[in-house]
Amino acid sequence: MNISPPNNQLRFSWQAIFSLLMFLFMYLPILVLAVYSFNKSPYSADWQGFTLDWYGKLFNDERILSALKNSLIVALSAVGISAVFGTLMAVGLARYRFPGKGLYQGVTYLPLIIPDIAIAVSTLVFLATFAIPLNISTIIGAHVVFCLAYIALVVSSRFNNLDPHLEEAALDLGATPVQAFFQALLPQLMPGIIAGCLLAFVLSLDDLLIASFTAGSGSNTLPIEIFSRIRTGVKPDINALSLILIVFSAIVVLVAELIRLAGEKSTINK
């Protein structure tokens, strides 16, 4: 007698197949890019053997190194500024009540949902209105806008696992408000701050659209340089650079997530 499989098993099989297809759709292009970054042929469509020459050529390319330097300056500067103001913003929104708090909170997180093209165009219009010349500083200012929102969001989520009376206990023990913040609250927020900074760093390093609207002459970032080169075709050295960026971004995001989870676990254990 034939016994049909239970519906839940059949449903699980279809879910597994669908998940597998989705993973292939997302990650198969990355796998192809990784394979062709080791292609000896200068044309990506023609495989002629394995080589590491393109990685050596990449690290001797002055334009790539200059663009990488600009990207690191922009990302580190934007994250450093956003870390300070994003943390203070998150603390203020979590600890204090003031008129218009809901509106201010909504405006704070608005860059998370606004399309990048809208941020880029509005920033360019603002800079043109006040006749501010485009250079690497204008890219940093534009990146602070969305880095600030991401760091504030991650730090705010950290407050959900903190004791709301932590600062009060420090004040009762004789600490000043500044001492209570730096010695009691800030160490508890540090995992969230680090995780938010790492996430914002990756987003800033990978940004193309906003940087392309706010970059001046001689201040190209790495994504802008890559985009300018692929207009004439994708070469193996660009494949190699893209693979390095993908691996680096994945490692940074993984570290940020591990730090965040470790911080939440330590808070729960306490």
* 8 Å CB contact between 139 and 214: yes
Using the structure block, give the residue that is written with the tokens 């990449």. 58
- Listed in sequence order, the residues at least 6 apart from 29 whose beta carbon sits closer than 8 Å to its beta carbon are none
Q: Which residues of the chain have pLDDT under 70?
A: 1-12, 44-45, 164, 263-264, 266-270
Q: Is the pTM of this model over 0.85?
A: no
**Would residue 20 count as lying in a domain?**
no
Give the pLDDT of residue 69.
92
**Would residue 18 count as lying in a domain?**
no
Is residue 130 packed enough to be buried (19+ CB in 10 Å), middle (13-18) or exposed (0-12)? exposed
Q: What is the CATH number of the domain that holds 115?
A: 1.10.3720.10
Give the pLDDT of residue 267.
59
* 8 Å CB contact between 204 and 74: yes
Closest by Cα among 126, 163, 156 to 260: 156
**Would residue 43 count as lying in a domain?**
no
Helix axes 62-95, 101-108, angle to 10 degrees: 160
**Would residue 68 count as lying in a domain?**
yes
Give the pLDDT of residue 125.
93
User: Rounded CA gap, 64 and 263, in Å?
Assistant: 37
**Would residue 203 count as lying in a domain?**
yes
**Would residue 133 count as lying in a domain?**
yes
Helix H or strand E encompassing 106? helix 101-108
> Which residue range(s) make up the domain with 112?
54-269
Give the pLDDT of residue 269.
62
Is residue 191 packed enough to be buried (19+ CB in 10 Å), middle (13-18) or exposed (0-12)? buried
Give the pLDDT of residue 40.
82
Please state the domain count of the chain. 1
